[in-house]
Amino acid sequence: MPASILDGNKIASEIRSEVAAEVKALSAAGMRPGLAVVLVGRNPASEVYVRGKVKSSEEVGIYSEKHTPSEDVTTLELLDLIADLNRRDEIDGILIQLPLPPQVDSKKVLRAVDPAKDVDGFHPMNVGFLSTQRPGLVPCTPAGIMELLERSKIKTAGQEAVVVGRSDIVGKPMAMLLLNANATVTVGHSKTRDLPGVCRRADILVAAIGRAGMNRVTDPREFARLYAGNAKREETFRSKGSVLVGDVHSEVAEVAGAITPVPGGVGPLTIAMLMSNTVKAAKMRRGSRVAELSRV
């Protein structure tokens, strides 16, 4: 039986509706959550991502502002901008769009963000909170995957989970979230012996190794290797000259119980969780005022 499709668009829409309701309540009490996005230079892919984040903020009622330093910005200039955003009480979340230009010390810049405003969950303090199961801000993509599993009623406790990829942004926090949810977790990567065998034994498989990743296939020979006979994909390729491809070959749908599509799987959840994290940051930062509101 073909795999059931886990609809990321539907679940992301549910999360955005919940966030919008929280934003409305907070705004009515004069505590509208605020998000600042820092986009350096004119990277076309980054500009697309940032437009999506700003648009989503507006749709759920979050105040948002975009800062666009030039491509030749220095580390010191970025640190000054972040220090200013850290001081501003109306800004609850700060997002530094990666990648940064080579002359910028990216790690120093990310560490400079106030952990309470680190809506990407990259700060070492938030990493520590995650590993010790304390309240904090969690990277958006892994958090979105957990929401997808929970809202799709896919059991994690006692299951064998394999995460392929060990990045600080997705692989490691994903493994920690699954472990915190009582799964038995293996992290596979490019140096893992018999990686296919490790993947085959998984009850839950999270592919985050970035090959092929969220890329566009434009080569007709590569498209034919991946999607020959897939009429819907062939029509897209003919009309657009490319298709989006994820980490997992489409044939896995013949053996999996459930699968996320590309596009429309995890991607929409990443931005939905950024919105959720911004509201969470606002509530954690302004905790006493939110508690007072809830008693009214």
Q: Which residue numbers are catalytic?
A: 53, 97, 120
Q: Which residue has the tokens 């437009």?
A: 51
Provide the 3-class DSSP secondary structure of residue 150: helix
Q: Is there a contact between 137 and 118 (Cβ–Cβ < 8 Å)?
A: yes
Bond from prior residue into 282 cis (ω within 30 degrees of 0): no
Calpha distance 275→75 (Å, rounded): 27
- DSSP H stretches of helix in the chain: 8-28, 44-60, 75-87, 106-112, 124-131, 140-151, 171-180, 195-200, 220-227, 231-240, 267-285, 287-295
Residue 263 structure tokens: 């596009």
3-state SS, one letter per residue, for 117-140: HECCCCCHHHHHHHHCCCCCCCCH
